[in-house]
Structure 1
């Protein structure tokens, strides 16, 4: 086992983006107790997070981030996890099992490869029950759950639905298996996870007409870094306050595609892609 040559395993393709290219998995997620209880007391239990020490060819030498215990485990007993929420090597049934583990909160989620549609992904979310949503990929490699909202990469999709539900059963709160871990010094600490940004409060900001003019100019820039929907929301706020005429931005037509394309709707998106 220890003399087997190492084999490099590629990160699953998400999109050709700098944050994904060449990145190693964050941790391994244990899918089943190992060894099975009928053989001996398990060394690693389902739901534990493991830090890889070495790849021994079909086996991982890993350390538990829950107990600190170090041992070997076969590859088939674990899933590789990227960015805290992208799980490779598990299906719908195992996703539900992990999301229904004790102490898992409402809004916990993961993204995994779709079992029914090649090239697509599935978003699994813990609610009263586990809900599954198909993530479709456009010919230009953008992604969407509802056709009214498209995203350049999965990271943008996760960030968006961590802010608003937009037709999902709930807002995404924490990646699946978020839990306390043990550092090298033996202290308990929380691992970094995707978190929602703090709300920006305009009323706490002192604004002048010159500041508003600069904001309107920024809103008209396609490369401002703000999504189309956010720019519209800010422009609407400026118009409602009466402190600035934001019509200069409203009159400008969108000439190119934004990171998030939003279609005007009255309540819920036209439809969502649910997995049966």
Structure 2
């Protein structure tokens, strides 16, 4: 996926086909021109590759400068806590975290010799994803907790598969009022009560299982996080002291 960095064509030339912040899918690459299709409108056309930035994991923007990061985060689709991690266009592997608050704040992400990352030296992370997960749970020295990746609230692709309909459970089912003949009916095509009873039981089971699975997943994430985050003694500078100026 790529994100448009500036209106194209320029409004001074003609009505833009693609607007800043619009998400595009790359259909084909032809030297400096890429054929893309808009997730929002479905329009397919060519755009210079200098007008877009590649996005990974929804929040890692490649080659986006500080000023452009501010423009993207200040778009109406973003709220307080919206963020992106930008990789330097000058130095590969150098990253900064940009967060929308009252204004856009920027934090330099440092990398240790063992390839772990940190903003504040008292807390290091095995990978960028672990860092994002931590600061999504707590601000822990940043201007605010991270809420959602930049532009994550934009329209989904028009050809996206519709979500499965929710399971609706009736609460007024009374087994005491069921005719025995309905329970032993062998007509699989009829709308008998046993078919509903089975659906009712399955829905209840799935609902319970879903809650259990969600709880287990959360517990597993906590265990994983404890293995990939290392806290140093409280003798380092606070994270807020690492807001970058570039």
Under a length normalisation based on structure 1, what TM-score does the superposition of the two structures give?
Answer: 0.62
Uncovered stretches (5+) of structure 2, i.e. residues with no partner: 164-211, 213-221
Uncovered stretches (5+) of structure 1, i.e. residues with no partner: 1-26, 189-204, 206-223, 229-257
* Secondary structure of 1:162 counterpart: helix
In structure 2, what is the equivalent of residue 23 of structure 1?
none
When residues 38 and 161 of structure 1 are mapped into structure 2, their CA distance, relative to the original with a 3 A threshold, is same
When residues 182 and 119 of structure 1 are mapped into structure 2, their CA distance, relative to the original with a 3 A threshold, is closer
> Counterparts of 1:30 and 1:158 in 2: how far apart (Å)?
23
In structure 1, what is the equivalent of residue 107 of structure 2?
133
In structure 1, what is the equivalent of residue 48 of structure 2?
74
Higher relative helix content: 2
Larger Rg: 2
1:182-193 equivalences in 2 (<5 Å): 182-184=157-159
When residues 76 and 164 of structure 1 are mapped into structure 2, their CA distance, relative to the original with a 3 A threshold, is same
Under a length normalisation based on structure 2, what TM-score does the superposition of the two structures give?
Answer: 0.69
When residues 55 and 115 of structure 1 are mapped into structure 2, their CA distance, relative to the original with a 3 A threshold, is closer
> Counterparts of 1:108 and 1:141 in 2: how far apart (Å)?
26
> Counterparts of 1:187 and 1:181 in 2: how far apart (Å)?
11
> Counterparts of 1:109 and 1:183 in 2: how far apart (Å)?
25
Instruction: Give RMSD over aligned pairs.
Output: 2.7
Q: Following TM superposition, by how much is the alpha carbon of 1:174 offset from its aligned partner in structure 2, in angstroms?
A: 0.7
Q: Following TM superposition, by how much is the alpha carbon of 1:99 offset from its aligned partner in structure 2, in angstroms?
A: 0.2
> Counterparts of 2:78 and 2:107 in 1: how far apart (Å)?
19
> Counterparts of 2:157 and 2:80 in 1: how far apart (Å)?
24
In structure 2, what is the equivalent of residue 103 of structure 1?
77
CA deviations over 1:171-208 (Å, ceiling 9, x no partner): 111111112223316969xxxxxxxxxxxxxxxx9xxx
In structure 1, what is the equivalent of residue 126 of structure 2?
152
CA deviations over 1:135-169 (Å, ceiling 9, x no partner): 00001111000011101111111111111111011
1:1-276 equivalences in 2 (<5 Å): 27-114=1-88, 119-178=93-152, 179-184=154-159, 225-228=223-226, 258-263=227-232, 265=234, 269=238, 272-276=241-245
Higher relative contact order (CA 8 A, sep 6+): 2
Q: Following TM superposition, by how much is the alpha carbon of 1:225 offset from its aligned partner in structure 2, in angstroms?
A: 4.1
